[in-house]
């Protein structure tokens, strides 16, 4: 059986790959955005996994704990603190993108990325 940390790293890698696949190769813009949220979640999982320690304890010092034992066993708290911010940033960028998608749908009546995100040059050539 592989260790929890390695399995978790593999999971985060899989999430990033699935997300990248969706963001690059699916045509529906809604699916692309879901894929992008998977990329962000994968990266977050990766960073949280860095702080994990097998058989460790949660890095919160409660009254009654022995200091030396706690220092030996606690997980590394810095990655978790970083990921908190990162999750919120991911959610807010997603919200902005969804708002833009709604506006674009009202304008063009489609969710197909190849039609919505055409280059300006291509537009001029098409007209």
Partner 1 sequence: MDSFIPLLVIVPIFCAILLNLCHGKDKLVKLLALIFGITLPITPIFVNYGNHFFGGYSPLFLNSSWATNLPSTITNSILFNFHPAITYVFGGMQQIFIFILGILTFFVIFTSLNESKRASGVYTFLIFMGTAAVTAVFLTDDIFHLYIFFEISVMTQVGIILCSNIQRKHETALKYMFLSNIAAPMLLLGIGLLLGLTGNVNISDIIIAIKTGVVTPDNPVLLMAAALILFGWLYGSGLPPFHSIKSAMYSKATPHAAAILQVFTVFIFVSLGIVIIRIFAFISLLRWIIMIISALAMILGISMAITQHDFKRMIGYLAVGELGYVGLGLAIGTIQSITACLFQAVNEILLTGLLFIGVGTILYKTGTTDTNKLGGMLTENPFVAFIFLLTGFAMAGVPPFNAFQSKLLLIQSALNAGFPELGVLMIILSIVTFMTFVKVFYTVYLKPQPENMKIINKKIPQVTVISMVLLLIVCIMLGLFPNIVTNAFSQFAMGLL
Partner 2 sequence: MIVYLLMLIIILGSIITLFQRNLLKAAIISGIPGAALALLYQYLLAPDVALTQAIIGTAILPVFLALTVYKTVRMEA
Q: Hey, how many other C-beta atoms are within 10 angstroms of the C-beta on 53?
A: 13
Own/partner pairs for 100-105, CB < 8 Å, 24+ apart? 101/29, 101/30, 101/33, 104/29
**Which residue has 């990248």 as its token pair?**
20
Residue 89 or 120 having the CB closest to partner 2:
89
Burial class (CB in 10 A: 0-12, 13-18, 19+), 19: buried
Give the residue, chosen from 20, 111, 113, 116, that forms a contact with partner 2 under the rule CB under 8 A. Answer: 111
Q: Which stretch binds partner 2 (CB under 8 A): 51-59, 64-72, 118-126?
A: 51-59
> Interface with partner 1 includes 20 (CB under 8 A)?
yes
Provide the CB-side half-sphere exposure for 7 (13 A, CA): 5
d(CA 48, CA 61): 19
Binding mask 16-45 toward partner 2 (x if CB under 8 A, else -) reads: --xx--x---x-x-xx-xxx-xx--x--xx
> Interface with partner 1 includes 111 (CB under 8 A)?
no
Tokens of 5: 């940390």
Size of the site for partner 1 (CB under 8 A): 36
Contacts with partner 2, residue ranges (CB under 8 A): 4, 7-8, 10-11, 14-15, 18-19, 22, 26, 28, 30-31, 33-35, 37-38, 41, 44-45, 48-49, 51-53, 56-60, 75, 79-81, 83-84, 87-88, 91, 94-95, 98, 101-102, 105, 110-112
């Amino acid at each position: 059986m592989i260790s929890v940390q390695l399995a978790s790293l593999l999971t985060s890698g899989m999430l990033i790959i699935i997300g990248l696949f969706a963001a690059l190769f699916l045509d529906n813009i809604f699916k692309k955005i879901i894929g992008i949220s998977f990329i962000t979640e994968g990266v977050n999982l990766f960073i949280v996994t860095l702080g994990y320690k097998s058989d460790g304890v949660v890095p919160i010092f409660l009254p009654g704990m022995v200091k030396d034992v706690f220092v030996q066993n606690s997980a590394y708290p810095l990655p978790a603190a970083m990921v908190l911010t990162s999750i919120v940033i991911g959610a807010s960028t997603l919200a902005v993108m969804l708002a833009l998608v709604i506006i674009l749908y009202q304008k063009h009546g489609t969710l197909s990325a190849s039609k919505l995100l055409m280059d300006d040059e291509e537009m001029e050539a098409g007209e």
